[in-house]
Every structure is written in C-alpha cells, then in structure tokens.
Structure 1
Amino acid sequence: MTGSTVPHAAEPEPAAGWAPTRALGRAVLLAGLLLVAGVLLGRVDLIVLAAPFALGTAYALRRRPTALPQVWINPGDDGPLVEGGDVSAAVSVGNPDTVDYDLVVVRSRVSQWLRIDRAGFAGSVDDAPAAGATAAAGGAGRSAADRPFVTSVPTGAAVDLELAGRALRWGRHPVGPAGARVATAGGLLVSRAVITEPVGVRVYPRTEPFEAVEAMPRAAGLVGAHHSRRPGEGGELAGVRIFAPGDRLRRIDWRVSLRARQLHVAATLSDRDAEVVVLLDVLAEAGRSGGVGGAASVLDTTVRATAAIAEHYLHRGDRVSLLEYGPGARRLRPAAGRRQYLTVLEWLLDVRADSSPHEPYDQVFGPQLLSSDALVVVLTPLLDERSAQMLARLARAGRFVVAVDTLPTDLTPPKDRGWAEVAYRLWRLDRETMIGQLREHGVPVVRWAGAGSLDQVLRDVARLATAPRVGGR
C-alpha cells in the first residue's frame, strides 16, 4: 500500500508479495544435505556442522514481514518553477511493518529536461558523475538519478531519496515512476518491486525581455493605458474648447476663460484598453530544442515569445487571449490582470505540435470569436502553406495582423549527398516568396528578437488603422 505516512502494522497477515532469496535456498539445502549425510553415515560431526546453518536460518525467520514497503514521490514546494531554476524532489520509502528492512534498493526515472546533479539519501547526497549530466541538444547525458540507491529502513520510519538539479525546459515533466525492493530477515526474504506513479513538475517558460512602446492600432475599453483618438476622460490633452452643457467644472481652463471672457474647458483623449489575441501556429515543429541557454526550436520560441507578449500587455492593463492554429483549436478567453498571466503560463505548458491534413481555419476562427478592434499577433514558422493562407484571410477580413517568424535562424540544410541541399535552397526561396506575398497583402512579417521586436510593425499597423478599412468581415 502507498501513502504519505507510515502506519503501524495491525494483525499479522500472510506474507504476500515476499519471496525467498537464493541465500535462503542455499542455507536450507546445505543444512539438509549435512543432516541427511550425518544420519546416513552416522557422522555426528556433520550434524554438528549443520546445526549453525539450521539455527541461523530459523532465528532469521523468527519474525517474518507481513507488509510491503510504501513508496511515494514528493515534488518540491518552492513556488513556481521557471526554466533555469533549481528543482528539488524526493522519493520516499516507508516501512509500515514491525520488522526492520535490512536492505532497500530504490530507483527512479526523471525527465530528461530535469537535470539532476545531486542525488542521495538525506545526509549523504552524492554529486553528479564527473562525466557531466548535461541535457544540451535534446537532453543527452547521464543524470545523477539514473542508478540504484541502497539504504536501510527501520520499522515505523521512512527515508527520503533527495533529488536536486535544474529545470532545462518548459513543460510538464515527470519525476518517476519510482520503485523499491526490500530485503529482510538477514537477506533471506525479498519483496516484489513496489512501483509508484510519476508526479508531474510544472516548469513555466522563461519570459524573454519584450517592450512595445508604440500605440495600439485601435483600443476599445475604458480602463487601459492606451490613448484613444476619441475625446473623453483621460490624461492626454487634446486641446481647449468652449464650455458645453455636461462638462465638469474641474475641467475649466481659467487662464483661457479670463482671457477670452468666456468659459473654456480642457479637452482630453480617453484612455482605453486593447485586446491582444496571440495566435500560436502549431501545425509544424522544426529545429532541435537544447533547453534553457541552448538552441531553440519553433515551439520554444513560440511559447517563450507568447509569455513575454502576454506579460507586457497584461502589465499595461490590456486584455489578452490565446488561440492555437491546429487541429486541437485550443483557446483561452480574453481577460486582464495577474490572474490571467498565471492562466496563460499554465495554458502554455500544454502546447504541442500537431499536424493535420484538414484546414483548421473555420474550426479556430468561429463566428464573432475575434473582436474587430483586436490586434492579432500570429507566431508562426511559415512551414505550412495553410498558415500563409490563414494570414492572408485575416488581412482581407480587415483584421490588424502582425506575423512573427519563429523559424530558428540556425536551421541547417541536410548533409546528405545528392539533391537535398538544392531542395533546401529551393524551399528557402519559396518561403521568401511567400513572405513577400504576405507583405503585399498588408501582413507585416518580423522575426522574433526579444525587446523591440514589434515596435516598427506596430507603428505601421497603427498608421494603417487611421486609413479607411477595405474588406468584409
């Protein structure tokens, strides 16, 4: 049985799950042979020689175990874990029996993206092997937890196999399954393997620096920090005009009023919030993830950029929603505030690349799903022609669209001989042509580069918002 506490054993039960070891078989065989030989040959010395083996075996088996060991996994409770942060967990083995466990062998699996550098029982933590437990370029390397650990557990107690290391990549990473086998009665009895289910550790993406100082194309709400083009209550001065019924007295500009001999008020522009829709293209994956500090795949760039964009706009009081362009069509409703940011991070942990032979446009963009004033930031590697078609359709519908290229810059051509390199160059040319056609449709395409990545394109989109909009919705 499993649990977080070690209960005392009640009434003795049949020793299910326990088996004799080879040592018990050898002791019984040797004692039996010596006794039989002594009786048949009339040799008292052989009987005397067999006595220690028989008495020792009987003494060791005088108290037989009745309960299997308990195994459970305790994930670290140090708060939210971010890429590059320290991770800690423990595999606990408890002894609910009235017999001491002479030998306990514990082993646990750990995700390749949780690099365990130190592992061992409390008070005797071992360092990682000198070979280095790195997980660069896909998590290769030997982890310090990838070996069996041996200890003993007295009755009614528990021991913890402590695991400490570093989280290398965002996602839900398992610690476990973990298992333990126990030897008792002087090594004469061994238990079957007790396996516990893995426990997931949530690792949030590291937020890359991002700032966008340009105004939003069009804001809608009345509680944000963006200056609207519409007059209203706000902090941005729009001019001075003659007092009209309904104007507040605190808005009266007394200098102008005394000079003009007529009441004038200071007109302001309303402060409005905007809705930002971050669309994640998950139709294809490219590149190889090297974890934090290493190479970034398409999904790595997509998830980290999404977290940075959401953090920036939510901090400014805007509403942010997320959409997946793929067969799953997952979506996160628009909202603002810190709670929405934590929900965004949790939502991003389940992002997976999922190809589909069908066009997911109608499934993703349902009726009235996108606000006409929303800024749509599309994170896409542009590896699928359907992604370019989706961007063009959004632009023709009059949406404010910005495409962020997430294809890794260090993507290398195939090294095979033959036409592979030529085909790679042709694909590159075709992709550049596709990007040029998108720009002709009014879709700016910019490569993600952290802070300031979207400033220029947001400036252009904001200018386009002042022009007459063409196209149906």
Structure 2
Amino acid sequence: MVEPRRCFEGERVAVRIEVSYDGGTGRVDPGVALGHGIRLDRLAVGPHRVELVMTAQRWGRWTLGTVDVDVYDLGGLARRTVRVDLGEIAVFPLPGHAGLTPVPVRLPQRLGEHTAAQRGEGVEVTGVHPYVRGERQRRIHWPATTRRGTLQVHQFAAERASDTVVLLDVLADVVDPVTGVSSLDETLRAAAGLVRAYLRTHDRVGVVSVGGATRWLQPGSGQGYFYRIVESVLEVRKDRAYRSEGLDRLPPPALPRGALVHVLTPLADQRILGILHQVRGRANPMVVVEIPAGEPVPEPGDTEDELALRLWRADRDAMRFALVEHGIAVVAHRPGRTLDLALAPLLRTRVHGGTR
C-alpha cells in the first residue's frame, strides 16, 4: 500500500508491505532499490510487515522503486524472495507565490472580478452620470446632485472574467553553474503559482507545453482544475528524462481568441521565437516571463571564454530587443523571489494583442 500517490514536493509518502507465510520464520530482510527523485527517511521491519517512509524531492512522475523481501526459516538455511514493485507517484511542483493577475485590453463578456473599461454592474466607481428612470435610488450621489441641481448617480465599471493560457518552454533544462538552480524547475513552479492566482479570481486558465510532444489543456475554471493543469505537464519529466526534440504547430483550440498568453521561458533556445511568432500571428495579447538560469562561468584570465560570455549576453539582449520591438511585454522573474515583483509593472496598463 502506497499513500499518497499524488503529493507536492517535500511531502512524505508512506509504504506498507504485508508479509504472510506458513510456519515459523527466523527473520525478514528487505532490500530497497529507490527510483530517482525519492529519498528514504525511515525503514521499519517486523515479522509480518515492512514499512517505509519516503520524501518526494522534486516534481515529476517518479518510479518509487522496488523492495526485495527475503524471508528466512528458523534456522536461517532456507530463503524465499519476493519482489514488490512500488509503482509510480505524481509529484506536483510547489506553486510560486503570486497574487497579481494582469489582464488584456479586451475582456470576454463573462462575469468575473476584473474591472472592464465599459460601464456595468460592478463595485468600482468610475464617475457620476444623470439619473435615468429605473435606476436604483440608493446609488444617488448626493454631493454631485446638490452641486448640479439635478439627480446624479454613481457610475460603475463592469466586471469581467479573462481567458489565460500559460505556455511553458520545456525545450531545454538549463542549470545555473553557480547555484545549481534548474530553469525547468523554476518554470513549473512559477507556472503553478500563476495558474493558482488566476483560478482564485474565477478566470479560465489553460496550459500549453512545447518541447518534444506538444501538450495542451483547454482553458477551464475552478480550484480543482489546478491539478488537471499540473498533471497535464508532469510527463515532461519522468525519472529524470525529458523529451526535447522537434516542435509542433500550436493547435487552434489551445489558444482561444483574445486569451492572454503568459510565456515562461529561459530564452535559451532560438526555436521558442517560432512559437512566439505563432502566438503573435493569432493576435493574442502576450507576456514573456523570462526565467534566468545563470550565466556561464569563464575560466579566470581566459580571454576566449570572456569573449564567448560577451557574445552569449549579446545574443540574449538581441532576443529581448526583438520581442520588445514587436510590442511584446518582457519581464524577468528571479528565482527565490515572488512572481508579483515581475508582474507588477504590467498592472499600470493592460496588455495589448498583436495584429493578424
């Protein structure tokens, strides 16, 4: 018995194996072979049981491993071995802290919590206007009525929901040579925090992962949808391996018309520019969230390494400049910091879309 089969990073998984046999026994001796991403914290052995407590260290789909249970007779001369396959578990990334939810200029007509530009039945006051027969009397703005001599009522902004798609660049996993931080880890954690923030405001959120097989899930809403979104991209990492060959065209249903697209990428692979061009061509408003993965460390005094580092920096600056020149917002997320620090500048204005 393995509980739970789904957990978050750092949580513990309990395994209990029941051992049954005829006659007496001398001892039970288990041999444990763990899978990747799993740490054994405790092992307890009894006459009829073997209990293990493990910790899931990193997100992904992991094979827990196997346990070879050796059962000896009273004299220790006869032995029987049974192999128990513990199966797989799904480990969700810990969501990064995020609470801000930038929205596009144009919002769908569904009711939600984002303030729209047009008038409606919201709660945010945008001004006053002359009273029209049939309007609620409790909305009369008495100070303006007194000044103008005619009935004036509060004017409110409409509240709408948004469609948001989180597009994950999993073409490469770049590891910072100094800190050991993985760009793939930071991408999934930031994406999980972003998805949870939008779902809290009752928006519809979808996900697309590009790299190897393109995986996508149409936008949906509800807190339970968070787990469907995360599970849809867990196959990116399975037992420390992930596919990164080839690219497919984005399927039209994956990017609803007018949906705001958050692209989380380390900008380490030029092929991501082709994906961004597809999104831009569909006129979807887009934000590129750069996940820094650290710089190469040159050998001290090696002029060739230093020149290569300058070229590497220039190449990344050129990618950012090309995106900004096409009207795409680019923000940088620093690992270990809240995602809100990167998204805060986008709240000053709404995100515009491209042109077909």
TM-score per shorter chain, which class?
0.7 to 0.9
Q: 2:159 aligns with which of 263, 271, 291?
A: 271
> Residue 117 of structure 1 aligns to a residue in which SS?
strand
Q: Find the aligned partners of 1:256 and 1:448 in 2 and give their Cα distance.
A: 46
1:115 lines up with 2:55 in the alignment: no
Q: 2:2 aligns with which of 75, 78, 84?
A: 75
Structure 1 gap ranges (5+):
1-73, 123-152
1:177 lines up with 2:66 in the alignment: yes
Aligned to 1:105: 29
1:395 lines up with 2:284 in the alignment: no
Instruction: Name the aligned partner's letter for residue 7 of structure 2.
Output: L
1:177–1:197 CA contact under 8 A, matched in 2: yes
1:471 lines up with 2:355 in the alignment: yes
CA-atom RMSD in angstroms = 3.1
Aligned to 2:114: 226
The equivalences for 1:435-446 within 5 A come to: 435-446=320-331
> Residue 41 of structure 2 aligns to a residue in which SS?
strand
Structure 2 gap ranges (5+):
none
Q: Find the aligned partners of 1:104 and 1:168 in 2 and give their Cα distance.
A: 29
Quote how far apart the aligned CAs of 1:429 are. 2.1
Aligned to 1:92: 17
Q: 1:350 aligns with which of 235, 246, 262?
A: 235
1:206-232 Cα offsets, whole Å, 9 max, x none, are 122223275554332443221100111
Quote how far apart the aligned CAs of 1:313 are. 1.4
Instruction: Name the aligned partner's letter for residue 111 of structure 1.
Output: G
Structure-2 change in CA distance of 1:434 and 1:255 (3 Å): closer
Instruction: Name the aligned partner's letter for residue 111 of structure 2.
Output: V
Structure-2 change in CA distance of 1:231 and 1:305 (3 Å): same
1:166 lines up with 2:51 in the alignment: no
Quote how far apart the aligned CAs of 1:339 are. 0.9
Structure-2 change in CA distance of 1:173 and 1:344 (3 Å): same
> Residue 454 of structure 1 aligns to a residue in which SS?
helix
The equivalences for 1:375-390 within 5 A come to: 375-390=260-275
Q: 2:132 aligns with which of 230, 236, 244?
A: 244
Aligned to 2:192: 307
1:337-393 Cα offsets, whole Å, 9 max, x none, are 211123233334333442224x42x2x2x2354233321110112222221232244
Structure-2 change in CA distance of 1:230 and 1:210 (3 Å): same
1:317 lines up with 2:202 in the alignment: yes
Q: 2:226 aligns with which of 334, 341, 360?
A: 341
1:180-208 Cα offsets, whole Å, 9 max, x none, are 222226234332x3212232233221122
2:199–2:221 CA contact under 8 A, matched in 1: yes
User: How high is the TM-score relative to the length of structure 1?
Assistant: 0.65
Quote how far apart the aligned CAs of 1:456 are. 4.4
Larger radius of gyration: 1
> Residue 310 of structure 1 aligns to a residue in which SS?
helix
2:98–2:197 CA contact under 8 A, matched in 1: yes
Structure-2 change in CA distance of 1:347 and 1:228 (3 Å): same
Q: Find the aligned partners of 2:345 and 2:332 in 1 and give their Cα distance.
A: 11
Structure-2 change in CA distance of 1:213 and 1:381 (3 Å): closer
Structure-2 change in CA distance of 1:246 and 1:343 (3 Å): farther
User: How high is the TM-score relative to the length of structure 2?
Assistant: 0.84
Q: Find the aligned partners of 2:258 and 2:164 in 1 and give their Cα distance.
A: 9
Structure-2 change in CA distance of 1:247 and 1:397 (3 Å): same
Q: Find the aligned partners of 1:105 and 1:323 in 2 and give their Cα distance.
A: 46
Q: Find the aligned partners of 1:239 and 1:440 in 2 and give their Cα distance.
A: 36
Quote how far apart the aligned CAs of 1:424 are. 4.8
Percentage identity across paired residues of the two chains: 30
Quote how far apart the aligned CAs of 1:438 are. 1.4
Q: Find the aligned partners of 1:295 and 1:311 in 2 and give their Cα distance.
A: 26
> Residue 305 of structure 1 aligns to a residue in which SS?
helix
The equivalences for 1:198-213 within 5 A come to: 198-212=86-100
Q: Find the aligned partners of 2:117 and 2:29 in 1 and give their Cα distance.
A: 71
Quote how far apart the aligned CAs of 1:89 are. 2.3
2:130–2:153 CA contact under 8 A, matched in 1: yes
Q: Find the aligned partners of 1:258 and 1:400 in 2 and give their Cα distance.
A: 44
